[in-house]
Amino acid sequence: MQFYDLVKEELELLEKEIERMVPAEPKEVYNMLLPYIKRGGKRIRPILTFLCCEAFGSDSKKIIKPAAIIELFHNFTLIHDDIEDNSDMRRGEPTLHKIYGIPVALNSGDAFYTSIWQEIINLELKEKEKLHIAQLYGTAFRRVVEGQGIELNWHTKNNFDISESDYINMISGKTAALLGLACEIGAYLGGANKSDINNLKSAGEYLGFSFQIKDDVLNLIGDFEKYKKEIGGDISEGKRTLMIIYALKNANEQEKQFIKKILSSHSKNQDDLKKVISILKSIGAIDYANKKAEEFKSKAFKILEGLKDSEAKKALNQLAEYVINREG
């Protein structure tokens, strides 16, 4: 993937910065965190930060630490999300709470979060810039937690009366806010004007919509070896994805009741999961979700067209295509 090549040096520096950011002691708190974050991950958020900085002619090597902070926050949310969803796998390996138990995993996620704010305080920026950056982080972090809270409420209240706009509102926080933040911080530290910063933030959020919808699709029809999470896990977890919302609007009454039953019971029976997936395929829910992901990608493309031609702009377009066409 060519967009990775353009920021290869930055990504190498990012990994070293992450290693520095994760404390070594006490081992009881931090010992599992570095191996967890080193399992892999696409590093999409820091890549966006680097490319949006370079799109305005700035050297992205100067923003390694701000980009690393976003990646650490993302990994903090994954640890807690896996607990909340009772997920078994993350990046091809058992989730932290399955290995160490919920109390240890919760505390380790909290340790990530406190380390993140210490790093924000210590950013080597002018005080005005540091304050502004801290406000951007804080706003986006709050939106992520709020989006997750909305989704959790649907589960705890067993609420199926959810519209497509409700779903988009939820993922605008849970997923899109952090991709928007990555673009916003990259553009801001790259010297972009206010209009360009806001436009790139919007482009990042549109990519976030595409990314989440595509992730929902892969959870149903992806290849485990590439996706690295359990296929059908969203159904077992009772997630109200765009495809489920579409199905509850367009399936027949018997199919609707079956879907609700399986999601509410959190069944892990493979026959149950396969039947739900079969229904979603047959009524066109998966095709519909893929179409919506393409629409959001096109909106991001339209914004990116306004950037001055550069290798960074080309790489941003390639990354947007990757979000739609990825298999994992």
CATH architecture of 2-325: Orthogonal Bundle (1.10)
The pLDDT value recorded for residue 168 is 98
What type of residue is 129?
A: E
Cα of 260 vs its chain's centroid, Å: 26
Segment 191-217, tens digit of pLDDT = 999 999 999 999 999 999 999 999 999
Give yes or no for a contact between 48 and 183, defined as CB atoms under 8 angstroms apart: yes
Return the residue matching tokens 């595509």. Answer: 214
Residues counted in the chain: 328
CA distances from 37 to 15, 41, 79 (A): 10, 8, 10
Q: What pLDDT score was predicted for residue 1?
A: 63
What backbone torsions phi and psi does residue 89 show, to the nearest 5 degrees?
Answer: -125, 145
The position carrying tokens 């790489």 is 315
pLDDT given for residue 222 in this prediction? 83
Res 47: pLDDT: 98
CA distance 18 to 16: 5
Q: Would you state the structure tokens that stand for residue 36, as one six-digit string?
A: 């967890």
| The pLDDT of residue 228 | 65
pLDDT-flagged residues of the chain (< 70): 1, 228, 328
Q: Which amino acid is at 38?
A: K
